[in-house]
Amino acid sequence: MSRSTSGGSTPLVMVSDIVQYFYCPRKVYYLKTLGVPFKVKKKMELGKDEDDMEEERLGERKTIYGIQRSLVNEIIHNIYLEDESLGLAGQVDTLLHLNGNEYIPVDSKYTEEAFVQRQYRKQLLAYSILIDKTFRCRVRRGIIYFIKQKAAECLEITELQKKALIKDVESIRRIIAGESIPRKSAESKCEYCEVRKFCV
Ligand code: SF4
């Protein structure tokens, strides 16, 4: 059975939905179930430009996102991955293929605060699951790269965390299917939320 991103039989969950869900579950409901338009912030566009420049600079670096260059076999940018059985899809910013057939997803963030938020970790887990399925491997670590601070944070990825993420994906799918209106998150998040004018 085919999956759909727009209200077909079984909704496809995008990795970006997971990030929004862990920011605020209700945000997923507005963006995906009700289709409230999402306006890309200037800061996000700036981050994309900086990230593109960093990709170009990688050729001159002695280390690749903190990994010794000699260990890196291949650097793959902007790879779209989808797994039909899980109903999950997303585009990985950068995928490192190391000697010994290890794969490491890298996600770049453009933010003032260089600390790993829960949604960043969940995003890496989702990519890891997709990489495992696509390349028949087992991802054991992922990297968050803070563009502004030029800092790479390497995170351990476990099989238990991946299992928990698959349950989260099911919860998100129920929200997208419109089975329930999810709870709000802490009010402090509303100030920075792109859908707050629609949110009651
Ligand atoms: S305005 Fe607040 S409660 Fe509403 S979706 Fe945004 S973060 Fe969630």
Q: pLDDT tens-digit profile of 4-46?
A: 554 446 789 999 999 999 999 999 999 988 888 776 665 566 6
Q: pLDDT tens-digit profile of 57-90?
A: 777 778 999 999 999 999 999 999 999 999 999 9
d(CA 10, CA 4): 6
Kindly give the distance from the C-alpha atom of residue 189 to the centroid of ligand 1, in angstroms, as a whole number. 7
Tokens (6 digits) for 190 = 């509303």
Judged against a pLDDT cut of 90, whether residue 52 lies above it is answered with no
Q: pLDDT tens-digit profile of 108-133?
A: 998 888 999 999 999 999 999 999 99
Question: pTM for the full model?
Answer: 0.87
Kindly give the distance from the C-alpha atom of residue 114 to the centroid of ligand 1, in angstroms, as a whole number. 23
189's CB contacts (< 8 A; 6+ apart) are 23, 24
Strongest mean pLDDT among 164-168, 190-194, 196-200:
164-168
Q: What is the pLDDT of residue 192?
A: 84
Contacts 24+ apart (CB under 8 A), 94-99: 94/55, 94/65, 94/145, 95/131, 96/64, 96/65, 96/67, 96/72, 96/143, 97/72, 97/73, 98/67, 98/71, 98/72, 98/73, 99/71, 99/72, 99/73
Domain span holding position 151:
3-198
d(CA 70, CA 63): 8
Residue nearest to atom 5 of ligand 1 (CA): 27
Q: Give the count of domains, the chain.
A: 1
Q: Which residues line ligand 1 (CB under 6 A)?
A: 24, 26-27, 30, 184-185, 189-190, 193, 195-196, 199
Q: What is the CATH number of the domain that holds 10?
A: 3.90.320.10
Q: What is the pLDDT of residue 135?
A: 97
Q: What is the pLDDT of residue 61?
A: 77
Q: What is the pLDDT of residue 116?
A: 94
Alpha helices in the chain (DSSP H): 15-23, 25-28, 42-57, 118-135, 159-176
Kindly give the distance from the C-alpha atom of residue 193 to the centroid of ligand 1, in angstroms, as a whole number. 6
Distance of CA 14 to the CA centre of its chain: 8
Who has greater pLDDT, 141 or 43? Answer: 141
Distances (CA, A) of 75 to 14, 55, 106, 171, 199: 23, 10, 10, 33, 41
Which atom number of ligand 1 is nearest to the Cα of residue 24?
8
Residue nearest to atom 7 of ligand 1 (CA): 190
pLDDT class of 2 with cuts at 50, 70, 90: very low
d(CA 166, CA 74): 28
Kindly give the distance from the C-alpha atom of residue 38 to the centroid of ligand 1, in angstroms, as a whole number. 13
